[in-house]
A = this chain, B = another copy of it.
Amino acid sequence: MSAQTTAKGYGIADTKKYTEFSVKDFPLKTAHADDVTLDISHCGVCGSDVHTVTGGWGGLNVPWCVPGHEIIGTVTHVGDNVKEFKVGQRVGVGAQVLSCMKCERCKGDNENYCAQSVDTYNAKFPDEVEAQGGYSTAIRTHQQFVFAIPDALESEAAAPLLCAGLTVYSPLVRNGTGPGKTVGIVGIGGLGHLAIQFAHHLGAKVIVFSHSPNKKDDALSLGADEFVSTSEDGFADKYADKLDYILSAADAKSIPLADLLSTLKVDGKLTSVGLPDEPWEGLQPQAMASNASCIGGSHIGSKKEANAMLKLCAEKNIKPIIDQVLPMSEAGKAIEAVKNNNVRYRFVLKQDLA
């Protein structure tokens, strides 16, 4: 049976009208022997979706953009080279759908840093077919970017793991989060509330920094050992030289970077997975001179890490807190809520076109 050639989805054509989704058919990428095609059942609503459809990260790269890269679905077709997946299997797709497979990065479990990487949406495949995301009926992608979903994870809980989860899991493990380490998590939203759980279950002592004191109970119940309100003057003083690593999911240009950096041990690192629309304000290297600390970036994670994360989630019962599951037709409502920071902690869309 040949694979379907089109799908239907909810897309945005104008970043000024970022809640006005229209429904259209669109072509799927040309089917290759390494491709897996799936019917989508659920898709999480990620901060990236908001930055993209509002134009915060720049204009659209395609005339009409279907967002969504926290995708769960059922395999409907596999190419001849695909051995890992079979028709009928429940799988997931995250924020990346292609890489070159040939470079050192691809060959070294760093395919998420391949220079030829293709994003799941608002991007184009090498053959110029537009890549469209998961607010839709189906997606086709290379098997490297398809993940088996453990039976223990419900679909609506698994969806947000594929971007929000992987985006925080990868830097946590790459930076040594584990027993004997003290790790700070900054910003308790869709990403941060998963990061707390990962850091805790990986064995680290977890210090949560948040400017929202009313998230204290959530943070502690998710596994934080301590909660620090960054709105209090001198909040960082008692943590000076205490932290091995900080992961910031704060999506803001004016987080108290210098204070946070001061809590790091010598050679400690802060990774920001929050990607604000505007540059950081006032950062000077002086803020990192007193402890040889550094501040860095990260980009989702590798398939190896995705599989390890999903296994950990299944074993330790780690899951996102789902605020609402909405039909995909309410994508605009979900986008607005994420933009206004009115989500605790994730919205998931459910298929209503097929």
Contact = CB atoms under 8 A, between A and B. Distances in A.
Interface of A: 57, 103-105, 108, 110, 113, 115, 171, 174, 240-241, 266-267, 269, 271-276, 278-299
Given A113-B266, A115-B240, A241-B115, A292 B297 contact: yes
Contacts of A292: 113, 171, 174, 271, 296-299
Given A103-B241, A289-B297, A295-B296, 5 more contacts: A113-B266, A115-B240, A269-B296, A285-B297, A292-B299
Contacts of A288: 272, 295-298
A290 B266 CA distance: 25
6 contacts: A105-B266, A108-B266, A174-B267, A272-B285, A275-B289, A294-B295
A241, A275, A285, A293: residue with the most chain B Cβ atoms closer than 10 Å? A285
A209 B271 CA distance: 26
User: What 3 A-B pairs come out closest when comparing CB atoms?
Assistant: A294-B296, A288-B297, A289-B297
Given A292-B113, A293-B296, A294-B295, A275 B284 contact: yes
Contacts of A103: 241
A284 B293 contact: no
A12 to B, nearest CB: 21
A55 to B, nearest CB: 15
A95 to B, nearest CB: 11
Nearest to A278: B284
Contacts of A278: 284
A50 to B, nearest CB: 16
Contact of A294 (B273, B285, B297): B297
A255 to B, nearest CB: 11
B279 A113 contact: no
